[in-house]
Every structure is written in C-alpha cells, then in structure tokens.
Chains A and B, each alone.
Chain A
C-alpha cells in the first residue's frame, strides 16, 4: 500500500481566499500525484459533503473530505495557511487544513488508517507539531510516526 501522505501533498504556504480555493489547491496536488483522477468530479464530492455541514472544527482546523469514485487510494493532503481560511468553525478561520480523500468502495483496512489519522487530529500536541514543522518532510514524518506508528 502506498503512503497516505508524501511531501508532494504538503503545502506549508497555502494561499487561498476561501475554503473552496484552499480545497482546490490541495486537490490539484492529489491530481498531480495521480491519486485523484477527475479534479472537478472530486471537488464536487467534497463540496457536497461540506454543504451538509461545514467541516471546520475549533482549534483552527478544516477537514474538507469525501469518499469519491474519483479517488484511487486513501490520501491525505495537508495545507498550512498564514492568514487562515474560514471552514465554518465557530472560533474563526482554520490555519491547518487536511484534505482527506477516500476511494468510494475503500476497504476497511484503508479506512482504518484515515480513522486513526482523524483521531490524532484531536490531540493538541499533534496540531502544535504540525504548526511548527519547518518543511514538508517533517509533516510526512510526523504523520507516519503518530498515525502509522512507523
């Protein structure tokens, strides 16, 4: 199984005016990495989820996500925004943005990885480490260590 996240999928200087632009920029990285086959189709799926209820949560986090037929393997894209992007959380914009892409019929094994990733996001120490990370490799290693235990 390929890695859930690679350095290509990390943008530590994400410039985006709104959540749709932020999501699109991260999704473009997923397309470039061959993990998403149809950018607009995938974005439509993410928007559909976002429309049900905003994915922002308190503590500066946005988690646009979808299970989509246009996704080839479970993938995490990560973006860090200086100015922050509004994801609908009550306490303000998000500076840590996680784009979670899951294949439509993904097996339980794949989903378990994404599940443990989601669990880590709740931990303040994990968020803080992501905020301090100097380069994409550090982010990738953090996720591997914390989520995959590697």
Chain B
C-alpha cells in the first residue's frame, strides 16, 4: 500500500519531525511505502502530485491546519494529532489500511501516458509550480476530465457561498423587492428605476441593497471563475486568461454555467495545443507572456461568440416561441416542462427561457406559471443539500460545504446553489435535478398555486396562493431530487470502468466497494 502523510505542529521544530519519523518507521515495518511532507520550520517540501495521486491513503498528523489540503481531496483520510503519531504510529498505520481498504482493488492502474518527452519536462515544471490542482496527469481522460471540473468547482464554491448568502440576506432584510430596487424592474405592480449611480446605492436601496449588490457581483464571477480554473487545471497559469474570458463571454451570450464549462475546457485545450507547437528559440521567450495569452484568448473568444453564441441565441428564441405556443395547454404538462427547464442549466439559457416565460405570464396576469417556476428553481439546491447530509460519503468535502450553503440558497430561490454539484458531475447530477424539479413544477400546477412575486423563494410565502400545498410541492421535489442524486451517484460508482478509486471524492467508494 502507498501512504502519503503530512505532519505539522505549532512551532514546527520538534513534533512535526518526530511524527514524520515515527510514521515512516511504522509504515515500513508494516510493509508499506510512505512519503511524508513535514510542514515545519525547515520549510515544507511539497509532496509530488504524482505521489499524492498514487497514494491509497492519506494521514494528517497535525495540530495546526494542514496547508493546501485541497491537494488531498478525494483520498481516504486518517486525521489525528501529532502526538498520537509519535506515541502510537503503528495503530495509525493500521487505521490508514482500514480507510484505504474499501477503496481498494489495489493500486490504481494508470493508463500509459501518451505524452511525449517535451511534455514530460513541461509536466515536471508544471507540477512544481502548481500545488493546488488535483490533477493526476497520468490518469485516463475520463478521470482527468473529472479532476479538471473538480478543480474549477473548488475555486468557484466560495463565490457561490459568499454571493448566494449575501443575496439571501438582502432578501431577508429588505424584502425580495430589493433586487428590483437595485437592478430596476417591476415588483408587485411597483415600477423601480434601479440604481444607476452606485454612490447612491445605500440611499436608494438601503443596506439590503448594498448586500444585494455585493452578492450579485460575487455571483457575476461564478462562471468566469469556474471556466478560468478548469483551464488552469488543464494548462496551468496560461489557462487562466482564456478561461476567465471564455467564462465572461459565456455570461454575455447567455450560455450560463454549461457554456462556461465548455469554454473553460476549450480554453485549456487550446493552451495545451499551443504549448505543443515547436517554436524557434528566439520566439520561445515571448510564448508565455505574449503569444499564448493572445492567441488562446482570441481563439476561445471567437469560438464562444460565433460558434457557441449564435446557436444559443437561436435556440433561446426557438424555445421561447415554443413555450408561448404551449400556453393554455395542459397545466400539469407545462409544469413538468418548466421544471425540467429550470433545473437543466441553473441560470443558463434554458433556465432563463423558463424564467422569462414565468415573468411574462406574471406580467399578463397569469400567476400560476410564476409559482411553478419558482418552486422548481428551489428544489435543485435543496435536494442536493439534503443528499449531501443523508449520504455524506457520496460527496467531496468541498461539496459538503457547498451543501451547507445550499439550504439557504435553495430556500431563497437561488438555483445557482446547485451549480458546484452539477459542474463537478453533470451527467449524474443534472438529470436528477430535472426529475425533482419536474415533480415540483407539476405539483405546483396541479395544486393551483399562484405567486405574485418573481423571486424571493420561501421569504415571499405570504404572496403565494395556497401556501401549504406549495410547500408540499417543494418538499416532494426536494425528496425526489435527493433520492435521484443518491441513486445516480451510487449506481455510477459500481461500474467496473471506474478504475479511478484513488481519485474519486473522499469516501465515494466505500458504499459500494
């Protein structure tokens, strides 16, 4: 078995090293390979990412926070104090064996690297300068894809939490009309001009308006950060510029987080491709500072605007017209459809069409569509929050943190709270969300719920017609969402093709072995 460990203590001159030595002795005595990173005063030599990727278990013997612990995300982990490692290292190693056992199937069989010599050198340089990404360069494409997405998601989650909670607080303090006070628009028949001069923000929209503006700004960066750090995981620092620009453009063309996800992958792939081009020595010097950022940003930007942007605009128009043509047909069917759309891309083009349809219906006096749309937009974060509590092992630590914030975000009809989960594992998560939201949309329609508010979630329950059935619809969708997510994540893991035991999220495997 291969073990990696980190030891660290308050002063960093004694226990850190004693624990390291004790662990090394105990591991070798038990016939294991071990590498220890001592985060002490002599300076920490970071563990090579390859060793982390290859490890079957991770041991933290630390009395202070382990630095860059993100590197170990997804590994079976034993965590304890430095003293315990010094006093009783053998039993700690036994615990590491136990932790690794369910994930076993032996050491990870890596696909042979298809990289050439130059890339190997580049890889060595990259990994030295890049401690935070969790990418095992030798893994198969599917595994790497997942790791790229996870890296982007892990950088995005703080933005979701900060922005989402600020917006929710703004709703709580200032009522849901605060969104319209800041951005303009109509709420319950009152027309708000919006704040055009930010220096008058607090005067015109109050402190709640201030919270909303800050939260909305953090939210604005959500997709750019996702795309930027997906590209960063793929291509290191040169990936950040084209990735972030691709994410910003995804917002501009209304492509949502799925557009950003594609943009980030494109940006990373383009930079990787440019790096492969052999250039004369004279040009090599300006490659990283001028050529790579310039060319990659230009190419990915053009792709986003032309190749992706125009079809999305056309599809949006088509969907809108189609929904309009459905008005007046079976209400429950419409509820199902709106639910599916709300949960498909959480703020992306399909979601926006459904939401805009709700707004238009509201403006024309049909309050039922808005109620269904809002309820269906609340269940994705709520269902994921529930799933991450009920089946902790199926989620990474980062996702579980996102799950804690998702309760509030879901309750506030901030569907984006589900994005971290969906971006990390779209194939399993998005269909599950769609099923749950379809249930809620259908029930809200069947119950004849109405909403006079275009947003606000649970905080505008006073403006909802037949509130108790409305809550029933939301709870039902939440339960269905959680059930589907758990089922999808559990079933998917049993696939034998999943030879990535060592790199899937922490504890994702023990349930099914």
Contact = CB atoms under 8 A, between A and B. Distances in A.
Interface of A: 49, 52-53, 55, 57-59, 63, 65-67, 89-90, 98, 100, 102, 106, 108, 111-112, 114-116, 118-123
Given A108-B43, A115-B40, A118-B13, 16 more contacts: A52-B10, A52-B63, A57-B15, A57-B83, A58-B87, A59-B87, A63-B14, A89-B87, A90-B87, A98-B14, A102-B11, A114-B14, A115-B42, A118-B16, A121-B14, A122-B18
A106 B86 contact: no
A119 B15 CA distance: 9
List 9 A-B pairs, minimum CB-CB distance, nearest first.
Answer: A111-B42, A118-B17, A119-B21, A122-B21, A58-B87, A115-B17, A111-B41, A118-B14, A108-B43
Given A57-B18, A57-B87, A122-B25, A115 B38 contact: yes
Contact of B13 (A52, A59, A67, A122): A67
Given A118-B18, A119-B20, A111 B40 contact: yes
11 contacts: A52-B10, A53-B83, A57-B15, A58-B87, A102-B41, A114-B41, A115-B38, A118-B17, A118-B18, A119-B17, A123-B25
A100 B14 contact: yes
B18 A108 contact: no
Contacts of B87: 57-59, 89-90
A57 B12 CA distance: 16
Interface string B1-31: 0000000001111111110111001000000
Interface of B: 10-18, 20-22, 25, 38, 40-43, 63, 83, 86-88
Most chain A beta-carbon neighbours within 10 Å: one of B22, B40, B63, B86: B86
Nearest to A118: B17
B148 to A, nearest CB: 34
A66 B12 CA distance: 9
Contact of A112 (B14, B42, B83): B42
A58 B19 CA distance: 12
B42 A66 contact: no
Contact of B41 (A55, A58, A67): A67
Nearest to B82: A53
Contacts of B20: 119
A112 B41 CA distance: 8
Contacts of A123: 21, 25
Contact of B22 (A114, A115, A122): A122
Nearest to B41: A111
A116 B13 CA distance: 10
Given A116-B17, A118-B16, A65 B11 contact: yes
A111 B13 contact: yes
A119 B36 CA distance: 12
A107 B17 CA distance: 17
A123 B88 CA distance: 13
A27 B369 CA distance: 78
A2 B461 CA distance: 75
Contacts of A59: 87
B367 to A, nearest CB: 61
Contacts of B83: 53, 57
Contacts of B17: 114-116, 118-119
Given A57-B87, A119-B18, A49 B40 contact: no
* Residue of A53, A108, A122 ringed by the most chain B CB atoms within 10 A: A122
Nearest to B38: A115
Nearest to B17: A118
Contact of B11 (A66, A112, A116): A66
Contacts of B42: 108, 111-112, 114-115
Contacts of B63: 52-53
A120 B17 CA distance: 9
B27 to A, nearest CB: 13
A106 B40 CA distance: 12
Contacts of B25: 122-123
Contacts of A115: 13, 16-17, 38, 40-42
Contacts of A52: 10, 63
A62 to B, nearest CB: 11
Contacts of A53: 10, 63, 83
Contacts of A66: 11
Nearest to A120: B21
A67 B9 CA distance: 13
Nearest to B64: A52
Given A49-B11, A53-B83, A115-B13, A106 B18 contact: no
B86 A122 contact: yes
Given A53-B83, A119-B21, A122-B25, A111 B14 contact: no
Contacts of A116: 17
A106 B38 CA distance: 17
B21 A65 contact: no
Q: Which of A55, A63, A112, A119 has the most C-beta atoms of chain B within 10 angstroms of its own C-beta?
A: A119
